Amino acid sequence: MTHDTPLKFIIVGASAAGLASAIALKKAGHNVLVLEKNSELGGPVTIPTGGVRMPPNGCKILFDWGLEAEVRANAVVGEGFTVYKYEGKDGGRDFIGTHRWDPELLSEARGDFLQMRHRDVLRILYDAALREPSKRQLNGHTSRPTVTIEFDAECTAGMCSSALMGPLDSCVDDFWPRRLTRGTTSRGGLAVYSAIIPKALAVTDAEIAKLYEYPQKNMVSFSMGSNRGAQAFLAGKDEDVVFWVYTPDSSQDGNWMQPAERNIKDILGLCDPLIERLATLAGPATCVQIKKHYELKSWVSKSGKVVVLGEAAHPFPIISLHTYSIAIEDGAFIGKIFSHTRNPARITEFLHAFELNRKPRCSHIDADEKQYINVMALPDGPLQAGRDAAMRANEAAGRNVMDSGDLDLQRMWDDMRMVFGYDPADDADEWWVSWGRLRDAPNASKGKGEDIADIAQCAE
């Protein structure tokens, strides 16, 4: 029996993962409804939109979707990073070394390291999701797939349960309700303050203005301290300064939509002059705790018709390098795997295939990101001294700071090279060729995992 009718998906959350899924599912010929609880894309405009570091494995997906011109117009191309001691030295900065991205690595990965603003990323994805597909993009389908995005959506338990059990063939649930689906969390000991310094203000300070000089303007400035850290980089078409501070000095359990209770200057501790200057000029900040999240037993509901993805499935450490790229990968994989079927009887099988293929990669990268934070915020002691000595030796020898010397750093960097080369569409096609096309009917067991529909009944 052939199935010619497109599937219908509902996505809860116009996040990066939700919008990327909508784009990819539309490209696969299916219809999508996106429900967003906020009244505007990216949340209230009263909270400054944060910065995004997009590695090659994320931006190449956007390039493949025909969005390269828009993405590059809203990005600063990163060429590497410089490393300093957070506390400084003798009243000045204490430079450790530089790491420049390998052109061969970028060529193999088919992408760049891009520095963007959060709301710009969402706007590009939003416009692409609503854009009318071309004849070539229809890929021979007679019907034109549609994406509908509704804001101020009342995602109450009754409505969402109806959507899950109603006439829709499938439901992809993104970022809803994270607080409930993830269960309990515990704090990791550090909070992250995030703030923006507009370029027009930044260039009025002689020291901060040096961030706009090449090559630093294309570099992320990392500052490593004892249980502390900071990052500063230019982002977006306006080249504003994104300023992040890791601190143990805040107990606020905030979020990206909520202003920080304490001024960023009050949580710095002992730091170098540039960090102090950035904090002085920084606008309103947010404060978010780095947490250890409860791991879902399964991303697929008992009904087999709902899957969580993006941050709802695998929350990464705050301001992780891969938060956005992995969310976009999720969307690309979902769309590609569902390009191989319009049979509603295979939905459960395909959603389990998504989890089976994506979960190991996400868990691996999550572990790497946590190790990276631990390395950068080592407390005073022999390990920190050894890290600094290895990096300084590399710089003195004319090498990148993470190229050699310390085996743990080198191993971590080699692993990053493999991460950047990943292609979710190829991964989805490999599953289809090896398993999916050999099955005429679903062969995935039902009843596994947590019942997301039941959890939804508790939503406020």
CA distances from 134 to 29, 69, 128, 145 (A): 12, 18, 12, 11
Q: Which residue in 349, 339, 345 sits closest to 307, CA to CA?
A: 349
In this structure, which topology does domain 8-54+118-184+295-366+421-456 adopt according to CATH?
FAD/NAD(P)-binding domain (3.50.50)
Contact (Cβ atoms closer than 8 angstroms) between residue 125 and residue 20: yes
pLDDT of residue 195 exceeding 60 = yes
Q: Provide the pLDDT confidence category of residue 46 given band limits of 50, 70 and 90.
A: low
3-class DSSP assignment, residue 115? strand
Task: Give CA separation, 186 vs 180, 191, 293, 294, 352, in Å.
Answer: 14, 12, 7, 8, 28
Q: What is the mean pLDDT of the chain?
A: 84
Q: What is the pLDDT of residue 95?
A: 97
Domain spans in the chain, listed from the N-terminal domain onward: 8-54+118-184+295-366+421-456
Rounded to an integer, the average pLDDT of 7-25 is 93
- Note the pLDDT tens digit of each residue in 96-111: 999 999 888 889 899 9
pLDDT digits (tens, 9 = 90+) for 261-310: 999 999 999 999 999 999 999 989 999 998 888 788 899 988 888 999 99
User: What does the alpha-carbon distance between residue 273 and residue 279 come to, in Å, rounded to a whole number?
Assistant: 10
